[in-house]
Amino acid sequence: MYVLSGLAGIGKSTVAYTIASRAAHLNLLGASFFFSRDEADRNNAKKFFTTIAYQLCVYNGTFAEAIGDALKTERGSAAATKDPQDQLRALILNPLRSIVQSRARPILVIVDALDECDEDDERDVVRGLSQLVRELPSFKVILTTLTRYQSVVGAIISVQRPLPVSTLAQLINIDVVEIREVLDNLQSVILLGSDNAPRIYHKSFPDYLTDEARCKDPRLQIDTRICHIRIATRCFEIMDKRLKRNILGLGDPARFMRNEDGLKKDEITDKQIQEKIPQQLRYACVYWDNHLEVAKIEDEALMNELEKFVDEHMLHWLEVLSLIRNFDLAHVAIRVVLKLLKPGSSDLRQLLSDALRFIGKFYELIKRSALHTYYSALPFTPSDSLLYRRYIKDAVDNVCSIEGGPENWDALVANITHGTHWESVDIIKFSLASTLFVSCSYKRLKIWDAVTGTPIFTIAGDS
């Protein structure tokens, strides 16, 4: 039996499908089974060996006769409703034993995504397949599965801040119980704190696991880039599933108010906010760009997720960042992506460039009131901009329409306020790369992002 294991997203299923296709072409594929956590008939082993037996009947007429004869017996017919081991013996091992012993050509059985099978049944499948190849050597099994250890430890190493096990489970799509089983065996190197968030005791542990020259065992090695690809992909999946306009469901007049006033007006509790914007969504909204920056975007699936996010959810993302008081991170994330994109024109680049102008122009407004992203900022966005054309549908139920607005972005990047309206600015200086500038008055010094006009840091002076 050949086992192909590794982190999610590295192409194990692609390999399995390719081998199955080529084996079928050579008339060597006896059977295949692809587990799926989301399908009731394919997330357990109840029908695993009966399905293999059926496919073997289709594959070979002699096999079909032998298995058919077995089903006519009382033991054979009863086996279909019994446990997997009984099914294996009654429907495959006993009927085919004498037939395949003299067979020269191998019979290939491919099993994909065993990790998506129920844990108890997973052991039965492995035990049964091992018995199959041991007792009937003509059978060759290729099995793919996710390496739980690598997925869990890789995620703990790669996340940008410690996450509770429940949130980590959502982020890497692994059951909480399975994560705890991995952590139970690593208590000497990973601490599970009072906040239920796993933390690595010492930096030497991840340093060792991520260094191929030092960690020689491939079962222990952690490829951080693959970890970041997986987490970035999951961030986009989580945002795609949960982000929407007016995520908290604010009514009138709360949706037109400042964030804190609107929440108070509609009596939105912290518990309700946690339900609508759970921790995994907060993490995804805040840190997706950090993972993308390490992962790069050569991965086609990841690139598709990025394009979908920018196409459908960028303004919804700005809304959530405003609500969770992280709006200052928006322009940083967009600039990370623009830096990663290959030179040249594309809708993705144009949308992101428009988003930078959008954030700069309406920064203070959106930061104060998330839903004014749609009610005030979007209608006054240049009508010829790709962002406006792509997202104006989100302003469809605005209380009024805007006519005669700007068609193109003008030279004005942003209106910025240094301090109070009577406070004069004495000095403005740009950085050497012109990416930052500083404004200074007798009361304060402010550092700004020169691209978007957003404040980065403030130093208060003597009053």
Per-residue pLDDT, 463: 52
Interatomic CA distance for residues 270 and 153, integer angstroms: 31
List the chain residues with pLDDT less than 70.
6-9, 76-81, 119-120, 147, 219, 396-404, 413-415, 418-422, 451-452, 462-463
pTM score of the predicted model: 0.70
Tokens of 386: 């790709």
The predicted pLDDT at position 418 comes to 66
pLDDT of residue 434: 75
* Domain spanning 149-222: CATH 1.20.120: no
Token pair listed for 314: 């960028």
Q: How confident is the model at residue 401, as a pLDDT?
A: 62
Domains 2-146 and 149-222 fall in the same CATH topology = no
pLDDT per residue over 113-133, tens digit each? Answer: 888 887 668 878 988 998 999
Phi, psi of 192 (to 5 degrees): -100, 105
Beta bridge mates, 33: 111
pLDDT tens figures, 450-461: 766 777 888 887
Which one, of 409, 307, 423, lies nearest residue 360 by Cα?
409
Helix-, strand-, coil-residue percentages of the chain, each rounded to 5: 55, 10, 35
> Is the bond preceding 278 in cis, omega lying within 30 degrees of 0?
no
What is the number of residues in the chain? 463
> Is the separation of the CB atoms in 6 and 150 below 8 Å?
yes
Q: Given this model, what pLDDT does residue 4 score?
A: 84
159 Ramachandran zone, left/alpha/beta (phi>0; psi -120 to 50):
beta
* pLDDT of amino acid 116: 83
Buried/exposed code over 216-241 (b: 16+ C-beta within 10 A; e: otherwise): eeeeebbbeebbbbbbbbbbbbbbee
**CATH topology classification for 2-146:** Rossmann fold (3.40.50)
Which residues have C-beta within 8 Å of that of residue 231, sequence separation ≥ 6?
A: 155, 158, 159, 171, 172, 291
Which sequence spans correspond to the domains of the chain? 2-146, 149-222, 225-394, 427-460
